Chains A and B, each alone.
Chain A
Amino acid sequence: MRNVTMMSYGEAIREALDDGLATYPEMILIGEGVSDPKTVFATTQGLREKYGAERVLDMPLAENGMTGICIGAALGGMRPVLVHQRIDFALLSVDQLVNNAAKWRYMFDGQQQVPLVIRVIIGRGWGQGPQHSQSLQAMFAQVPGLKVVMPTTAGDAYHSMLDAIADNNPVLFIEHRWLHHIKGEVDKNRSPSALNGAALLRQGGDITLAAFSHMTIEALKAAAVLAKHGIDAEVLDMRCLTPLDVDSVARSIDKTGLLLVADCAPEIASMAHNLLSKLFQSHGQRLKQPPRLIAYPNHPVPTSHFMANHYYPGAEEIAVTVLEMLNKQPLKQTVKMELQSDLARDLPDRSFTGPF
């Protein structure tokens, strides 16, 4: 029996937190703004009223200390979900995350464990600037002992949040702010994704597009336009960073022989390097030509939208690169025209009035 509801990604997260609090009496939801009037972009709306101030609460501005306190609470039998409205603030807690949460079970020989979810939001544009819109997912994914997921669709957001809450390991749950408004099907009866594996979102035999988080949406946009010109791109959503599902990408390359990776992070900080290095080691000879990478420039994003508009790549860059790889340059102008939008690149949609 399917039990499908259409909801936005943000609503799906709220729904998962709601169901998590109902399922696990030991779950705590804590973070700066969790219980304020804006409730972390409405993703924690109504939960304090429903589950009480002891379990749904705001916190002191002490990211490292509060991460340690949540680790301690997890050791004491709780299941904390700690929210950072921007990943930039989670940097203050790297000591507790890396030295304690990630290693606790290992260094105490499996006698103790840390069921903890850290929700962080990444994003782009609308003047959030150098310290409010970073994409640091790869950095965290390089720490053994942490699990890192960054779902793209509302359905995955719902299930991977519930999985993360149920998981007895520390899980970093990364949301791209621009995904929050995108609607999708949430089937509560779907078998859970178990925080594992890439998702095949579009089948195609001409080229493999492996994309991370919001860049998956851009890849899908590019694929839709390319399809009008007879180019069938396969789109894989790399929704789980640890372990990275290299095998699914390899299987797709077996079909297509061509790979483009798109990540919402500066090139130097992209998970793509991890993916490409693993692919080269195990499946290098299956690629007909060198893979391409679409990522952000290797400098911080400036606040001014006059500059930021030229910082972020998107569907247009993905589609043009695909045409180059397939040696179909004559289509470039047409495809570019079809993908061009009068919407500024620092806005997710016309309704958005910021900030995030």
Chain B
Amino acid sequence: MAQATAELKQLYFQMLRIRRIEEAIAERYQQQEMRCPTHLCIGEEAIAVGVSAHLTPQDKVFSNHRGHGHYLAKGGDLRRLLAELYGFAEGCCGGRGGSMHLTDLAAGFIASTPIVGGTVPLAGGYAWAEQMKKSGAAQGCASVAGGTTPWMEEVERSRRPEPRTPEATNVVVVFFGDGCFEEGVMHETMNFAALKKLPLLFVCENNQYSVMTPLTERQPERDIYKIAAAHGLQAVSGDGNQVDQVYAMAQTAVANARAGQGPQFLELHTHRWPEHCGPNEDDELGYRSPGELNGWKQRCPLLQTRQFLLESRLSNESELAEMERVLADEIEQAFQWSLRGNRPSIDSMRHHLYA
């Protein structure tokens, strides 16, 4: 924690929040009421938190099937995430998406989708639109938003308002994994982003596994970030389990993208603790080397930060216990809110196919 900052306590709180929410989802997932494929991000929290700490609500985020952490770190509404998992009308997609399709436009979280690589070019296109709006090539354009409902508006109003500075360039961030790096659209998007010098940050969460297939069976021995660099991106790699390091790397990358230096690329090494999809651990399946998961648990992003906060006296046990209480309360209330949700009407199933 050499790069500890005053923000570290806040970063820890955000990571802890995602961890406790994911654990609460895992616990209730067994009840068979959240019936949708759910990919938990336990073990990988530092990346979402360290990157999003530098983003405003006007900055945009695109994500993937393992998107809860990205959604929450960007300010996505917890209650509507949970309602979405339960399939209620109050869900962020009205129950049409489930865990793998999240959106919260007010928070600047545009979308997560589960076709690997699917959102990568969309992030590129969104960044291109931001660039054109900024340059005046397409003045007078607003993002095209669809309809809304009264309860949605109520939720939006409860958000913290952020003043928009017209001169600032909005940055777009896309989160993806090492498996996605093998997809064609990944490279097509990097090529175009570099060509157009887009205000775009690529964040590769390298957790070494595509479902259960290790990186060594899928890619030759070479660094992912160097391929990005060869595409003309400013690319660096680092420890995705040290939130201060992620924070520092993302600070530079976001600032560069905002300053018009073109697309940035972070390759961050991390590890997923639970099974690929679902609430359980699956170490008994034996696709990870013996001791691999435990090694990563020793390097838990929360544990490392917690130890540093205590050792450096930036925080203390009672303050950390207070964080736990605050979060337990928020999560319990969010579940209660979402469980009071309404079933989407059968009639509404056919709505919104066309504008």
Contacts and interface: CB of A to CB of B under 8 A. Distances in A.
Contact of A144 (B123, B147, B353): B353
Nearest to A110: B352
A25 B93 CA distance: 30
B189 A68 contact: yes
Interface string B100-133: 0101010000110101001011111111111011
Contacts of A105: 146, 352-355
A157 to B, nearest CB: 22
Interface stretch (B134-142, B269-277, B315-323): B134-142
A109 B93 CA distance: 5
Nearest to B195: A60
A54 interface: yes
A68 B122 contact: yes
A28 interface: yes
Contacts of A68: 118, 120-122, 124-125, 185, 188-189
A326 interface: no
Interface stretch (A75-83, A244-252, A309-317, A342-350): A75-83
Contacts of A107: 93, 96-97, 101, 113
B188 A65 contact: yes
Interface stretch (A95-103, A177-185, A284-292): A95-103
Nearest to B152: A111
A73 B128 CA distance: 6
A26 B125 CA distance: 13
A74 B122 CA distance: 9
A28 B133 CA distance: 12
A190 to B, nearest CB: 24
A270 interface: no
Contacts of B345: none
Q: Which of B93, B123, B138, B187 has the most CB of A within 10 A?
A: B138
A121 to B, nearest CB: 22
A113 interface: yes
Interface residues of B, number: 54
Contacts of A39: none
Contact of B96 (A69, A96, A109, A115): A109
A40 to B, nearest CB: 20
Nearest to A105: B352
A77 B192 CA distance: 19
A62 B191 contact: yes
Nearest to A109: B94
Nearest to B135: A54
Residue from B120, B127, B353 having most chain A Cβ neighbours under 10 A: B353
Nearest to A73: B125
A168 B121 CA distance: 20
A355 interface: no
B235 to A, nearest CB: 18
Contacts of B189: 65, 68-69
A169 B355 contact: yes
B166 interface: no
A100 B195 CA distance: 24
Interface string A299-338: 0000000000000000000000000000000000000000
Contacts of A168: 144, 355
B355 to A, nearest CB: 4
Nearest to B101: A107
A12 B123 CA distance: 34
B110 A52 contact: no
Scoring A26, A60, A67, A70 by chain B CB atoms within 10 A of each residue's CB, the highest score goes to: A26
B353 A70 contact: no
Contacts of B123: 72
The 6 A-B residue pairs whose C-beta atoms are closest, nearest first, are A72-B125, A65-B188, A68-B121, A76-B129, A62-B188, A72-B122
Given A25-B140, A73-B125, A110-B94, 7 more contacts: A64-B121, A65-B189, A72-B127, A75-B110, A77-B142, A108-B111, A112-B103
30 contacts: A25-B138, A25-B139, A25-B140, A54-B135, A54-B138, A60-B188, A60-B192, A62-B191, A66-B121, A68-B120, A68-B122, A68-B124, A69-B122, A69-B192, A70-B125, A72-B123, A76-B125, A76-B127, A76-B130, A95-B115, A96-B185, A104-B111, A105-B354, A107-B96, A108-B96, A108-B146, A109-B97, A111-B146, A112-B105, A169-B354
